[in-house]
Amino acid sequence: MSGSRALPPPRPVSRGRTPLRERWARRQPAAGAAVMATGIVSVGLHLTGYEAVSRVTLAMTAAAWAVLAADFAARLVLERERWLAEARTPGAPTAVAATTVLGARLSSLGRQTAAEALLALAAVLWPVLLVIVVRGWRRGMPGSVFLCCVATQGLAVLGAALARAQGAAWLAHTALALFGLGLVLYCAALPLFDLRQVTEGAGDQWVAGGALAVSALAGAELLTADAGGLHLWNDDDAGVLRSLTVALLALDLAWYVVLLAAEVRRPRPRYDGRRWSTAFPMGMTAAAALSVADAADVPWLTGPGEVLLWVAVAAWLTVAAAAVAHAGRGVRSRAPR
């Protein structure tokens, strides 16, 4: 038509991309941490005998993990470049960590076949993501720099749990090697962590302590595996492992106090998806304290562990409510007027 303005050509749409998937992709790292937080709360509730509630949170964990796994696979197959770009981010190891948390909880229910499958999947992903992420390490990193340690120790936790259940000494020794590697990764990441994040971070600064908590849990699982009749370590080795496990828990609790004091001194009430990375270390600290109390024969830790569990449950509920409210505001803001 004469004098009319030509319409701009439509923007190309990436294969398989929809507005819903675009929004999900942006939230995917936080969703991975949410799976980890929910899974470890389920573990803690199981350790304290609240089995019914533990199974409810386990079902939530499994459902969320399945959605994440499907999205992860779809991006790997259909959007390889995007997958590689996301794999270079510090948060990429959440895929491994979330898988091991779910596997550990299933193992405690006696679902060893499912736990073994999850261990195999995590073991395949772990070296690929570890190499990609570590290559991108630099100074001034957020708390997510410690996720390589968390993922490695998650493998150690699940491996030790399956070793005890299946009577597999080789798996316990592999878990011990992963336990040592996880500690090396923590020591390598610590100088790269920006300490200003303690007072300025949006939530993932708590992983600095959470990585030590999962390390302590791995130590407790290794001690328990030996107590299961495998005769893995002699008295000296067991004594060293016990002392190291207790020391790791003590360091984690020190981080907990520092990070909590920083939250009180400089509150950050605004919702951020990285707050799931606060709920997870809180839950992991509780689970580690409860497990170390039994495995290392430190019974007085049971009481503090239960208190820390309910603090973690409160944190989980707070973050979940904030996430739902945030998602609701997002839906309303996009609604047609």
In a domain, 250, yes or no: yes
Kindly state the tokens that stand for 224: 């328990």
Cα within 13 Å of Cα(1), Cβ side:
4
- Structure confidence at residue 231 (pLDDT): 73
In a domain, 76, yes or no: yes
**Tally of domains within the chain:** 1
Give 2's pLDDT tier (boundaries 50, 70, 90): very low
pLDDT reading at 230 higher than 90: no
Q: How far apart are CA 7 and CA 141, in angstroms?
A: 45
pLDDT digit string, tens, across residues 59-82: 999 999 999 899 888 888 888 888
Query: Residue range 301-326: average pLDDT?
Result: 94
Query: Residue range 110-115: average pLDDT?
Result: 96
CA 276, 66, 57, 225 dihedral sign is: negative
The share of the chain scoring above pLDDT 70, in percent, equals: 88
297 phi and psi angles, rounded to 5 deg = 55, 55
In a domain, 218, yes or no: yes
In a domain, 125, yes or no: yes
Query: Are 250 and 321 within 8 A, CB to CB?
Result: no
Query: Residue range 257-271: average pLDDT?
Result: 92
Q: What is the CATH number of the domain that holds 110?
A: 1.50.10.150
In a domain, 37, yes or no: yes
| Domain span holding position 86 | 27-324
In a domain, 331, yes or no: no
pLDDT reading at 274 higher than 70: yes
Query: Are 126 and 98 within 8 A, CB to CB?
Result: no
Can you name the residues that pair with 193 across neighbouring β-strands?
A: 141
In a domain, 2, yes or no: no
Q: How far apart are CA 298 and CA 295, in angstroms?
A: 8
